Every structure is written in structure tokens, then in C-alpha cells.
Structure 1
Amino acid sequence: MQYTRLGQSGLKVSRLCLGTMNMGSKSWKPWIFDETESEPIIGHALDNGVNFIDLADFYSAGAGEEVVCNVLRKLAKRDELVITTKLGYQIGAGANNGGHSRKHVFDALHGSLTRMKTDYVDIYMLHYFDTETPIEETMEAMNDIVRAGKARYIGVSTMFTWQFAKILAVCEKHGWAKPINMQLQLNAAYREEEREMLPFCMDQGVGVSVFSPLARGILSSDMNSVRNKTDFFTAEMYNDATSRDVAMSVARVAEARGLSPAQIAQAWVLRKPEVSSMLVGADTRAQFDSALAALTTELDADEVYEIERNYTPCDVINDYTAGKRIPRAPRPAAGRFALEAVA
């Protein structure tokens, strides 16, 4: 395993981070692993040097934190792990059981620590940018959590660059703890974060952890998994010709190398200097081993060109564009231009 400092902090994390959205309760999603099914995967990751574990209170409506940490207590020492969890999405009834208000920040952390059976979380992360709560209120609450010792660091996830800049500015103004990690989506079929967010994080000394390196499975040439058949997000994000063309290029490079498409797609992510750590949401030991091998898989210029040549810009993927994204394909003429096309 390779380790790196997360941004300009002193925190050292494994370059592979165990993603755990697939662990918790099957009552939440049909593709979720229960505790018994999760333990071999978690154990395999730990045996191969992973110390970075990604959680969220939203996963399995809290059951994910409980299941994963039950296993971690059996297999690992708490002080050797870097555990992160996220807050923000609604996980219960009540008008204040979501978002980033001061009330919910404290209530959500209390709930997470209770389920995890730990006194602190290493990185407490905002799952998105809450446009309904003043950012000063949110970041003061996050700072208070750090000062109270309930979180060692804070982080953020999935937002526009200007929103992240606003967070850093308010923290700088008040002398509050700043985020050390930005968690974002990046893969060969979705590269919009290369425009602003990645350079901004590099400039500000913020670590970057990447999720969905396989574009929710399409870059592994597997669209028939239970998850992809039941998860509408896959269709919304990657159901376009460009994504399929990128997937074919990844498969072409993989075939020429005698490797799996997943390993090639993950190697493409890990080669980027801005990426501190890549999340691996493995369903099997073999899937984790693919990511492990990708750490030392070099891609030459011809291979990179083949992987990247079909990419075209698209709408940013985040909570603010959900359900509104325009597919990467020519759209029919409309209005008076449609009439002109017919004529």
C-alpha cells in the first residue's frame, strides 16, 4: 500500500480508501451487504494496508456506520484508522433532520458517534453545500466540533468550486478549522472537476479523495450488476453515447494490456497528481485487488490518448443539477429553428 499526506495536513492516509456505501442494510437498497457479507471485504482491505475508511450517516439510513464499525472493532485498532463520515442528507422524520444547521450538525454527529461506538471521527464531512443555511453558521459549528475533540479534521464533498471558495474564505476570516479534504466524483467518463475544482484544491493545499472511479460500473464493462439495474443514478449520469464510447476505449486498452477494464480505469484516476486517495467500493476481494494493482499500473501516452479521445464536456454532476442534466448528445432544433430545419 502507498500512503500520502492529505493536502497540507499532517494526516497520512492510504491511497486506496474503502468506500462503504454498499454495506449496511438490505432494507435500504437490494445491493447492500449485511455485516456478515461485509466483514471479508473489510478484512481484505485492512490486510492490504488500507487505513482510510469512508462512511456517511445517509448510507443505509445509519445502519452502514453501525455495520462497518462493528467489523472494524473486531479487526483493527481505532488509533490506526482514519475514519470519515458525512452529514447532510435527510435520514429521519422532522424538519431539522437534514441540512447543515448548527442543530443538525451536532445532532448528526451525536448519532454517528453513537452508532459507530467511538468518541471521535477523524474527518467529519459536509455531504454537499447547504444553500439554505448561512455558511457562517455551519462552519462555526464544524469548528466547535473540532475544538471539542469530537472530530480531528473536517472535510467537504460534491459542490461547485465557488461554494468551496466561500467555505474557505469564511474559515480564514474567523480563524476556524479549514477543510483538509474534498471528496468528488472523477473518472474517465466524467472529468468536469478538472476545470476548476482540482486546480483550486491543489492551490489551496486541500487533499482530494475520488469516488466512482469506474463511473458506477460502466468502465468495468459491467452494466448488468444488481446495483446498476436498480440504481437510477447510473442511468442519469452515464446513459449517453460519450460514456459508452469512453468505456469502449478503456476496454480496448485493457485488452491490449491483458488487464481488466476496471484496473485500467482506476489506473487512469490514480495517475493524476491531484488525487490523494481513491475510494474503492468493492463487492469482492477480486474487485479490491484490481484497485490495488492499479496503484502500480503505468499508462503510456498512447493509452492515455485512447482513453481520453472520446471525452466531451457535460453538465456538472452534483445535488444542484440532479434531474436537470442534459445528455451529451445533439438535441433537436426547437422553436423557429425547428421550423426552418423542416423547410
Structure 2
Amino acid sequence: MSSKMEYVRLGNSGLKVSRLIQGCMAFGSPAWEGSPWTLGVDEGLRLLKKAYDLGINTWDTAGTYSNGASEATVGKALRQFAIPRSRVVPAANDGALVNQMGLSRKHVFKAVDDSLARLGTDYIDVLQIHRLDRETPPEEIMEALHDVVRSGKVRYLGASSMYAWEFARLQHVADKNGWTKFVSMQPFYNLLYREEEREMLPFCAATGLARPNRKGDGGGGAAPTLREQTDVKSRRWNETANPAIVDRVEELAKKKGVSMAVLATATEERIEEAVQALSVKLTEEELRYLEEEYKPREVQGM
């Protein structure tokens, strides 16, 4: 692996992860949910090997991505390229649909076992709850997550996409009962959506939680891609974004001699260019220039 990559602790935990995280949602099958931006297995394998060679050892996948094909691709990469399990940090996401998905005790245990089978490994470094299951009691959710950690199948817990008060409640339930708490929160946060600065980000900072971003490029809005052009949900969401911000990203990207994706995100799109993000420095004046056109938006609890 490259020695140029930076590694940081995941919040207050002892786990170290690469500063850049390889998102694996696009690996699996182009037939998944009619998403032509999804790459096939061979292309996914090639990109995972490239990410590993560049020092990106943290891979974010989920059982819902391509109906499990994404996790299977990650597992195949570990075997095909003889990558030592101890050298990578797979983060698996647990979804939120009824019984087959969600955060009931029944599904949490099944989802972990299914992910382990697809990954071909005996433990998951970080189990992230992909979406909050609002029908299952917080106590059941946190006890089930605690028990899979105690079983040895999961090392750490992370969360993603919910209201700050909901996240604080889950942490409180775990703390009150002596159960395992989350070490990270993956919010929807980027130049086009900054509402997490109201409550979620301050909460994470105050409690020592890591904050890996989700959709750092605004789902393609801040750096237009094939996905942004073909994904109906991304297109619909970005139609309400401020185009002036996108124009300023493009302007500064040209000034810095990098692609728009480098300024907008360091985790999705063009792996080699993403690594450049570690060396691209923006001045306070440039940051203000990118941010000053932002208009408040409706808070997304996902």
C-alpha cells in the first residue's frame, strides 16, 4: 500500500482508518434498481485493487447495494488479490425494511451473518446502521447491536442518516444500559447540504464521534457524474440545490488544476484524483467563496 495515505482514529475508538474511504455502492450489477452507473464485478475489483494500492484501506459497503453483490465483490477482492484481512477495514451497512431488513433483533443478527458470508470473513470492523428503523424500540436496537459486538462478529458500531435527537437518544439508551455505543456518524453533508451544522456536527464534536461524510459530492450535484444524470432521486434532489455553488466549485477546480470531484469530495469518483484532495488546500477566502451562496434547506432525517 502507498505510504502517502493519512490514517486517523475513528472517533474516540482505537481503530485507525484511511482518511479517504472507498465507497462501494457503485460495485455490483448495473441492473440493480435500474442504475446504469453501477459497475460490474470485474471493474469493481480493479478499482478496489487500485484503492488498496493507494493506501485506501477502508471500504464502505452494504448488503442492500446490488442486493449483496457489492459485499461479494469486496470479499472477492480480498481473496483474489491476497489482501491480508488485518490490512483492510470493511464497514458494512445494515438496512431498514420490514423483517428482511430493519433493525429488529431478528434482522440485525441475520444481516451480520449474511454480510460475513458474502465478505468471506469472520468479523466486520464497523457495522453501520444504514437508516434508522423507527418502528423498532431503541432498546431492542441497541441491545441487539451490543450483542453482535459481544459475539465477536462486529468490532465497532457506526450510524448514518437520522435526526440528531434520534441519534442522541440511541446513544443515551446504550449508555444507560452499559451497552456498546456508536463511535461514528455518517451524515449527509456537503457544499449543497449543510444543515447538519445545526445539531448533528456539534453533537459529534462534543462527544468525540467520528464523522465520515455520506455523499460528499451531493450525490453528483457538486461534481456532475453519470449517476447524477441517470439517478432519478439524485436528479430530483439536486434540482433544488443552488447552481451558483456548483459554478464556484468548477471555477476553483480550474484554478487549482484539479477536477470538480476533488474539491467536492474525497471518497467517491476517480480514485487517483480523490487522493489529490489530501494535497489541495483552500484558503479561508476560498472557503468563504464556496460557502457564501448557500441557502438553508429543509432538514433531511432520511
Give the TM-score taking structure 1 as reference length: 0.83
Residues 1:87 and 2:94 aligned together: yes
Query: Displacement, 1:191?
Result: 0.8
Residues 1:204 and 2:207 aligned together: yes
What residue is the counterpart of 2:292 in the other structure?
309
Distance, in Å, in 2 between the alignment partners of 1:243 and 1:3 is 33
Asked if 1 retains the 8 angstrom alpha-carbon contact of 2:96 and 2:103, the reply is: no
- Report 1:181-330 matches (<5 A): 181-220=184-223, 222=224, 225=226, 227-240=227-240, 242-266=241-265, 280-282=267-269, 287-319=270-302
Query: Displacement, 1:228?
Result: 2.3
Asked if 1 retains the 8 angstrom alpha-carbon contact of 2:229 and 2:235, the reply is: no
- Report 1:109-188 matches (<5 A): 109-188=112-191
Q: Which amino acid aligns with 2:281?
A: E
What residue is the counterpart of 2:53 in the other structure?
47
Residues 1:27 and 2:31 aligned together: yes
Asked if 2 retains the 8 angstrom alpha-carbon contact of 1:8 and 1:205, the reply is: yes
Query: Displacement, 1:138?
Result: 0.8
Bigger-Rg structure (1/2): 1
Q: Which amino acid aligns with 1:30?
A: P
Query: Displacement, 1:211?
Result: 1.9
Query: Displacement, 1:232?
Result: 1.4
Query: Displacement, 1:218?
Result: 2.5
What residue is the counterpart of 1:97 in the other structure?
100
Distance, in Å, in 1 between the alignment partners of 2:256 and 2:59 is 31
Query: Displacement, 1:88?
Result: 2.0
Distance, in Å, in 1 between the alignment partners of 2:211 and 2:55 is 19
Q: Which amino acid aligns with 2:252?
A: V
Query: Displacement, 1:212?
Result: 1.3
Asked if 2 retains the 8 angstrom alpha-carbon contact of 1:123 and 1:154, the reply is: yes
Query: Displacement, 1:316?
Result: 2.0
Query: Displacement, 1:30?
Result: 2.1
Asked if 2 retains the 8 angstrom alpha-carbon contact of 1:253 and 1:306, the reply is: no
What residue is the counterpart of 1:4 in the other structure?
8
Secondary structure of 1:53's counterpart equals strand
Q: 1:184 to 1:77 in 2, by over 3 A?
A: same
Q: 1:236 to 1:23 in 2, by over 3 A?
A: same
Match of 2:85 among 67, 78, 81: 78
Q: Which amino acid aligns with 1:260?
A: S
Asked if 2 retains the 8 angstrom alpha-carbon contact of 1:65 and 1:116, the reply is: yes
What residue is the counterpart of 1:270 in the other structure?
none
CA deviations over 1:126-160 (Å, ceiling 9, x no partner): 11221100010011011000011000111111000
Asked if 2 retains the 8 angstrom alpha-carbon contact of 1:125 and 1:156, the reply is: yes
CA deviations over 1:141-186 (Å, ceiling 9, x no partner): 1100001100011111100000010011011001101111111221
Asked if 2 retains the 8 angstrom alpha-carbon contact of 1:237 and 1:317, the reply is: no
Q: Which amino acid aligns with 1:237?
A: W
Distance, in Å, in 2 between the alignment partners of 1:211 and 1:296 is 21
Secondary structure of 1:62's counterpart equals helix
Identity level (%)? 40
Distance, in Å, in 1 between the alignment partners of 2:107 and 2:256 is 50
Aligned length: 295
Distance, in Å, in 1 between the alignment partners of 2:250 and 2:30 is 32
Query: Displacement, 1:26?
Result: 2.0
Structure 2 unaligned blocks of 5 or more: none
Secondary structure of 1:9's counterpart equals coil
Asked if 2 retains the 8 angstrom alpha-carbon contact of 1:58 and 1:89, the reply is: no
Distance, in Å, in 2 between the alignment partners of 1:62 and 1:207 is 26
Distance, in Å, in 1 between the alignment partners of 2:30 and 2:89 is 26
Distance, in Å, in 1 between the alignment partners of 2:96 and 2:29 is 17
Distance, in Å, in 2 between the alignment partners of 1:163 and 1:64 is 29
Distance, in Å, in 1 between the alignment partners of 2:189 and 2:74 is 25
Query: Displacement, 1:192?
Result: 0.8
Asked if 1 retains the 8 angstrom alpha-carbon contact of 2:242 and 2:295, the reply is: no
Query: Displacement, 1:54?
Result: 0.4
Query: Displacement, 1:230?
Result: 2.5
Q: Which amino acid aligns with 1:48?
A: L
CA deviations over 1:268-322 (Å, ceiling 9, x no partner): xxxxxxxxxx5x233xxxx112211111211012211211111011012342xxx
Q: Which amino acid aligns with 1:38?
A: G
Q: Which amino acid aligns with 2:276?
A: A
Asked if 2 retains the 8 angstrom alpha-carbon contact of 1:24 and 1:68, the reply is: no
